[in-house]
Chain A
Amino acid sequence: MQSNGYSHIRTDSYAAFPHQTTMYKYDSLDQTLVDERVTQFRDQTRRFLAGELSEDEFRPLRLMNGLYVQRHAPMLRVAIPYGMLASRQLRMLGHIARKYDRGYGHFSTRQNIQYNWPKLETVPDILADLANVEMHAIQTSGNCVRNTTSDQFAGIAHDELVDPRPYCELIRQWSTFHPEFTFLPRKFKIAVSSSTEDRAATLVHDIGLHIVKNDAGEVGVRVIVGGGLGRTPIIGHIIREFLPREELLNYLDAILRTYNRYGRRDNKYKARIKILVKELTPAKFAAEVEAEWANLKGGPVVVPEEEFARLESFFTAPAYEQLVACDAGFERKQLDDRGFARWVEQNTFHHKVPGYRAVTLSLKPYGGIPPGDATAEQMEGVADLADRYSFGELRVSHEQNLILADVKQSDLYDVWQEAKKLGFATPNIGLLTNIIACPGGDFCSLANARSLPVAAAIQARFEDLDYVHDLGPIDLNISGCINACGHHHVGHIGILGVDKDNQEFYQVTLGGAQGNNASLGKVIGPSFSAEEIAPAVQRIIETFAEKRHEDETFIDTVRRLGLEPFKARAYDKPELKAA
């Protein structure tokens, strides 16, 4: 088994792809491991179907390959590491949707895609297809380290300090099949960010990492531990302000080992690291980690400069053209076409390179389509757009949208037209109708209530785009149960599905926020029935519209006034009075 000699030189060609992408590319070690995983899972599935493995024995094995057994059928969750996708990979995701599923997939809130209808016996074939495009479903569920997530604008954001993607890839490799941390007390999620505005929700992850620079200009890592949503929402604690980057993996080993050994295993609701950090106190937890780290520091896991250089070499800038900062034609088009101007304002993001924008394709159209859903044809259409306008690359955001990161201003009008044809041009990014929602009780066996019909009912009440635009930024997040996959705690408006005597009810929280000033929403009172919830949200919005100061944002108004005026109006139910 000793294999210190490195023989993984890969010679097969990438010439078939239209673009030299600026993403990480597998070498033969990466490829060998995903291929061997397919073989291993094929055998495990065979043994399960042959009765050699019991359901209890097979469950953790399939979970570690992203396979749940859900309400209607198995659900397969595929990782999109830190949200980066090449066009050929998105085409493969479309192909899988068509061949093995019902022609669509659901982009989740953690830079994954989920298929709701695969057959168990075909899952090894799906994994093999994924491995062909350097993708996998490894550790997308189960009590292990999950897909590492990051800023969807990594590498192009105007407010970025350091490109976080090389660090994400380093962590992806470290966490993949880590022999010591396969059976943790509970799932474990890591998010990485390195920009002024935190777009990766690092404060509500088991570990949040900020790539920072010290006064000497050296790159290091700020380490935040113990944040999380779910049943016990907690904002994470900084346990180290500046960790030299070469010690990153030693430090992660120290955190994970401390958690693996001392995290609670007697109650799954108290098993996340946030509970351990809380019970020990953050200071004591940090001391435990530092003591563990002292034993590991300087050892074989130190990451050499050459490895950082190697990883950084993949995430270079694509072949940008030298452009003027403001394209005249682009400016004119915005004056001529109000719809285009609005889409540019809401759905494009300032790029660090003059003359370019990042475009968010909204997977939140009106008309009852579940947030984050895309059909095979739409995926292929978006892949084509990426090839034509954005160097063959895409991003997936935790807000369940797709991003073309490098579009020339002069191409934006065409991209808008094409996006409209695909149904992905709703100009609602950052607005009320860009609802984040988990799949809910329609698909998920954990859910207490459905989330998709609620999203649709709310969107239906806000079809007037001008009105929604005037309301300004509002995050509305819906989770179908306490597991909080829809991140309801950090929505400005959060909606949580609860079960009362087998009836669906919905609890409302206000004042949650993600980003640098992350806060957790507060419950406004008793929950609403399925019929009451959309009107209640509408009354909350009306209260805001009446009470806001000029262009004050929703969250600022809630923070200024407190819950009371919103609460009073939300429970002032005219439809009940009329009855």
Chain B
Amino acid sequence: MANIILNGAVVPNTWTLIESVEPLAAADVAEGSILPLSVWLAVRETLLENPALAGKRVGVWLAPSDEPGELVDDIAGLPLIAVQFPAFTDGRGYSIGRLLRERYGYKGEMRAIGDVGRDHLFNLFHCGFNAFEIKASQTPEHALEGLKAFSDGYQSSEQRKLPAYRRRPHAQTADSWAEISSPS
């Protein structure tokens, strides 16, 4: 079982991605599955209402064109939501990540899957992803370096709620520069 990055550490992947969007009976959903959104929506009621199945650990994955708002009723209960990046140049998942965290208040594991590598980790992290399944051509240990690309940033993000302009000392205006640079 391949390793993933979770909360800044390399750990074994304990989940199984169900890529097929073929419908599944609730009873056939295996423990530890990450289901496509459409499959999840079809089985969620049965899974949640049947006491025999209710304890099952199940996650959901979203394609870039999926609407994260469809999970609004499940946000509190889902232990894992994955967002798929079919190509790393498809940036829709970054917005999905922020919406899940900021608008819908999702607190569980949010995992980036697909064409995900070292050079994308920093921005994904700031959009709220805390787990990364790294593409086969790179190792998770190597990709972890990507989280260190920048020590700070201008924008409000999941990791840094206040944008830089709400953290900057306001004294640092042009006048304070004039003091520093005037030959005294």
Contact = CB atoms under 8 A, between A and B. Distances in A.
Interface stretch (A177-185, A202-210, A232-240, A357-365): A177-185
B90 A265 contact: yes
A36 B151 contact: yes
A60 interface: yes
B92 A260 contact: yes
B79 to A, nearest CB: 23
A467 interface: no
Nearest to B157: A179
Nearest to A143: B89
A40 B174 contact: no
A295 B123 contact: no
Interface of B: 88-92, 94-96, 98, 103, 117, 119, 122-127, 137, 147, 149-157, 159-170, 172-175, 177-178, 180-183
Contacts of A14: 177, 180-181
Interface in A155-177: 170, 173-174, 176-177
A282 B178 CA distance: 46
Interface of A: 1-6, 8-9, 11, 13-15, 17, 20, 22, 25, 27, 29, 32-33, 36-37, 40, 44, 54, 57, 60-61, 143, 170, 173-174, 176-184, 249, 257, 260-261, 265, 295, 299-301, 303-304, 306-307, 309-310, 313-314, 316
B87 to A, nearest CB: 9
Nearest to A306: B170
A272 B140 CA distance: 35
Contact of B162 (A33, A295, A300): A300
A6 B168 contact: yes
A22 B173 CA distance: 12
Nearest to A43: B145
Contacts of A2: 159-160
A166 to B, nearest CB: 11
Nearest to B122: A179
Contacts of A8: 152, 168
A326 B89 CA distance: 57
Chief secondary structure at chain A's binding surface: loop
Given A4-B162, A177-B150, 9 more contacts: A4-B160, A14-B180, A15-B183, A29-B168, A36-B151, A54-B137, A143-B89, A174-B154, A177-B155
Contact of B91 (A29, A61, A181, A306): A181
Nearest to A59: B89
Contacts of B103: 295
Contacts of B164: 6, 29, 173
B162 A179 contact: no
Given A20-B178, A179-B123, A313-B175, A300 B166 contact: yes
B153 A33 contact: yes
Contacts of B180: 11, 13-14
A179 B155 contact: yes
Nearest to A300: B156
Contacts of B163: 174, 249, 300-301
Contacts of B161: 4, 300
A178 B155 contact: yes
